[in-house]
């Protein structure tokens, strides 16, 4: 039992590091057409953790990625709107993975990305009192659909190709 827990925590730490690294690398490139828009490749590791290890570990990976990624990339103000969006997006994806059990990973990822984009945009407007920025929301949602699809397909391939006996609890 204890060994299982240690194994899960160790894998979560590795996935957190990979997610943070992907997040920081992505921040080095210019945004996709719209300020703040990214592909969100780091979310592959979060969705993978939710499915393969457990939702609470997925939340851990997401929190570590946002906190450490923001500190290391020198954009601390980003935590204010990234963290609530990440929490809600993870929550929605967890519900779709564990409760509905009817949807594919790409669809779940697309829905999570759209929720993330909408919450991030709304919280940004709330914090900065700049409701005019909502006019970027339709474009950000379109980018979220494409990026969510890519992240979902990547997670699907990762789950299909990786030797999961080394990761899951059996």
Partner 1 sequence: MKKEKGSTELVSKFIESKPFHVKDLILYTFILCAVALLFVFFIILPKTDKPNGFSVSVNNEIVFTFEFSTEQITVLNENYQLSHDKNHNTITLYVDGNSYNKLSYNTNNLTVKIIDSNCPNHDCVDFFEISSGSGVIYCLPHGLKILPLVPIQSEPSTGGRL
Here the tokens at position 75 are 């954009």
Cα gap 170→165, rounded to integer Å: 7
Closer CB to partner 1, 2 or 165, in the complex: 165
Closer CB to partner 1, 22 or 110, in the complex: 110
Residues 106/149, Cβ–Cβ less than 8 Å = yes
Applying CB under 8 A, does 29 fall inside the site for partner 1?
no
Cα gap 152→146, rounded to integer Å: 10
Restricting to residues 53-72, name those near partner 1 by CB under 8 A: 53-55, 57
State which of residues 97, 119, 150, 151 lies at the interface with partner 1 (CB under 8 A): 97
State which of residues 2, 3, 28, 160 lies at the interface with partner 1 (CB under 8 A): 160
Applying CB under 8 A, does 101 fall inside the site for partner 1?
yes
Applying CB under 8 A, does 36 fall inside the site for partner 1?
yes
Per-residue mark of binding to partner 1, 111-130 (x: CB under 8 A): x--x---------x---xxx
CA neighbor of 127 nearest in space, from 91, 74, 76: 76
Cα gap 15→48, rounded to integer Å: 9
Closer CB to partner 1, 2 or 160, in the complex: 160
Applying CB under 8 A, does 86 fall inside the site for partner 1?
no
Residues 87/59, Cβ–Cβ less than 8 Å = yes
Here the tokens at position 81 are 């709107």
């Amino acid at each position: 039992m204890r060994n299982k827990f240690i194994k899960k925590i160790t894998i979560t730490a590795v996935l957190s590091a990979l997610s943070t690294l992907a997040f920081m690398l992505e921040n080095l490139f210019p945004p996709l057409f719209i300020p703040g828009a990214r592909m969100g490749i780091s979310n592959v590791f979060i969705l993978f953790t939710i499915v393969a290890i457990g939702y609470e570990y997925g939340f851990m990976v997401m929190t570590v990625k946002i906190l450490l990624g923001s500190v290391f990339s020198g954009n601390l103000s980003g935590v204010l709107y990234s963290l609530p969006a990440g929490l809600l997006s993870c929550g929605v994806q967890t519900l779709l993975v564990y409760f509905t059990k009817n949807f594919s990973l790409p669809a779940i990822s697309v829905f999570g990305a759209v929720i993330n984009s909408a919450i991030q945009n709304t919280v940004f407007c709330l914090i900065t009192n700049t409701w005019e920025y909502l006019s970027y929301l339709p474009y950000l949602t379109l980018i979220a659909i494409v990026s969510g699809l890519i992240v979902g397909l990547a997670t699907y391939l990762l789950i299909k190709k990786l030797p999961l006996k080394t990761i899951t609890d059996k």
